[in-house]
Amino acid sequence: MATRRDVLASAACLAAAPWAAMAQEAYPARPVRMLVPYAPGGATDIVARMVGEEMRRVLGQPFMVENRPGAAGILAVETMARARPDGYTLMVGNVTTNAITPVLFQRRMSIDYEKEVVPVARLADLPAFLLATTTNFPARSLAEAIDYARRNPGRVNYCSSGVGSYQQFDAVMLGRREGLDMTHVPMPGGAGPTITELLNGNLHLCFLNVATAAGMVRDGRIRALAVASDARLPDFPDLPTMAELGYPGIGTVAWQALFAPAETPRQVLLTLHRAAHEALRAEPVREGFRRQGMRPMPETSLEQTRDWLRSELTLWRRTTEAAAIDLG
């Protein structure tokens, strides 16, 4: 005759059975969800889809992109962090959503970012253009743009993807360096509305990633004044870097990376890290990145990836304190 202890033990085993089976099954055994904190079509979405397709080839399961824009990336970050830590909910984020937002908007987040989120793999570095409109804006170089802004205080509009984005910090630091009074115009709707406003001349200056703007720079519809990169771009050899023009440290390389809930088993993280690393070596990804002006940036280990993110968070703590921008 079964005792009460036997009944309780059996119930506990039955309750644990799904988790035990999950722990024993090979990963991944079903499709993986990859959250993207922006609408489709932007650089982060492009990276997620290209890398996800190659990770599907490597691991044999679909990596399905789910776009979850909103709240400077907080919506996607918190959704991913609260998901079951089993490797089936990931996030592809960037410097704004996964380094600046956790520093700048820490009190608005309902999670402890550094304890509940872990980087899986650094994926890509994406240089940024400093762009100028060609509509009713005479500047053809950075020096001319600065001179124009100095002579027209408050009349030059610069854009960003939102308050607290890297584009805003870069413009603020440039403006303070030169004593400029420029007007910030947040454009949280994404690259499409930003490009439209640059084309019609309502926006005058903007730091924007190369992948988004390269085509319009080539055909002359928008003018690139400089590039935020450690070297000139092969496809734009005549375009100087910000450092060459005398502004080292101003201008952000907009990296992209893969993230997971912090309690995800190490073996699953290792599987994902290795698959991402292999995906970045695949010719379709390398060629796709090249066309978008991106550089694959695989880290050699999980530990190296974590050290890299810690250094980025430290950098942006210093940067946000120095800029002291008005968050509105």
pLDDT in tens, 30-64: 999 999 998 888 889 999 999 999 999 999 999 99
List % helix, strand, coil for the chain (3-state, nearest 5): 50, 20, 35
Q: Which two tokens stand for residue 271?
A: 């599987």
Quote the number of domains for the chain.
2
Coil/strand/helix, residue 237: coil
Which residues fall within 8 angstroms of residue 85, CB to CB, at 6 or more apart?
260, 261, 262, 263, 264, 265
Q: Where are the alpha helices (DSSP H) in the chain?
A: 4-24, 43-59, 74-82, 95, 101-104, 113-116, 142-151, 166-178, 191-200, 210-218, 266-281, 283-292, 302-323
pLDDT for the residue 2: 47
- 55 exposure class (CB count in 10 Å sphere: 0-12, 13-18, 19+): buried
Closest CA to 265 of 70, 105, 25, 11: 25
Question: Of 23-27, 32-36, 91-95, 233-237, which gets the smallest average pLDDT?
Answer: 23-27
Specify the residue for token string 């509009």.
157
* Position with higher pLDDT, 308 vs 328: 308
Give a yes or no: residue 108 inside a domain. Answer: yes
pLDDT of residue 327: 64
Greatest C-alpha distance within the chain? 93
Among 181, 210, 228, the domain boundary falls at 228
Terminal C-alpha separation, the chain: 70
Look at the block and give the residue holding tokens 């932007």.
42
Give pLDDT, residue 286: 95
Q: Are residues 215 and 138 in the same domain?
A: yes
Beta pairing partners, 131: 206, 224
The pTM of the full predicted model, rounded to 2 decimals, is 0.84
Q: pLDDT exceeding 70 applies to what percent of the chain? A: 91
Instruction: Quote the pLDDT of residue 20.
Output: 42
CATH number at 146 reads 3.40.190.10
Say what the pLDDT of residue 5 is: 46
Is residue 248's pLDDT more than 70?
A: yes
Place of tokens 């990145």: 289
Position 32, amino acid: V
Pairing type for strands 117-125 and 295-296 reads: antiparallel
The larger pLDDT score, comparing residue 27 to residue 7, is at: 27
* Structural domain that includes position 120: 31-125+254-323
Q: What is the pLDDT of residues 52-109, one digit of tens each?
A: 999 999 999 999 999 999 888 999 999 999 999 999 999 999 999 999 999 999 999 9
Q: How many CB atoms lie within 10 A of CB 196?
A: 13
The pLDDT value given to residue 175 = 95
What is the rounded average pLDDT of the residues 206-213?
A: 89
Average pLDDT value for residue range 304-315: 95
Say if residue 258 is in the same domain as residue 119. Answer: yes
Residue 58 lies in a domain: yes
Same domain, 269 and 310: yes
117 and 155 belong to one structural domain: no
CATH number for 79: 3.40.190.150
The torsion angles phi and psi of 256, rounded to 5 degrees, stand at: -125, 145
Q: How many residues does the chain have?
A: 328
What DSSP character marks residue 203? -
**Is the confidence at residue 9, as pLDDT, over 90?**
no
Residue 308 maps to a domain: yes
- Based on the fold, state whether residues 132 and 120 are members of the same structural domain: no
State whether 202 and 265 are in the same domain. no
Classify residue 110 by its DSSP letter. S
Q: How many whole angstroms separate alpha carbon 33 and alpha carbon 48?
A: 11
Same domain, 267 and 120: yes
pLDDT bucket at 22, cuts 50 / 70 / 90: very low
pLDDT digits (tens, 9 = 90+) for 216-232: 999 999 999 999 998 99
Which tokens in the block code for residue 26? Answer: 């090979």
Distance CA 76, CA 83 (A): 11
Residues 135 and 78 in one domain: no
- The answer on 260 and 121 residing in a single domain is yes
- Are 156 and 149 within 8 A, CB to CB? yes
**Residue 21 included in any domain:** no
CB 239 within 8 A of CB 227: yes
Residue 32 forms beta bridges with which residues? 63
Question: Do residues 289 and 307 both lie within one domain?
Answer: yes
Domain boundary among 194, 228, 262: 228
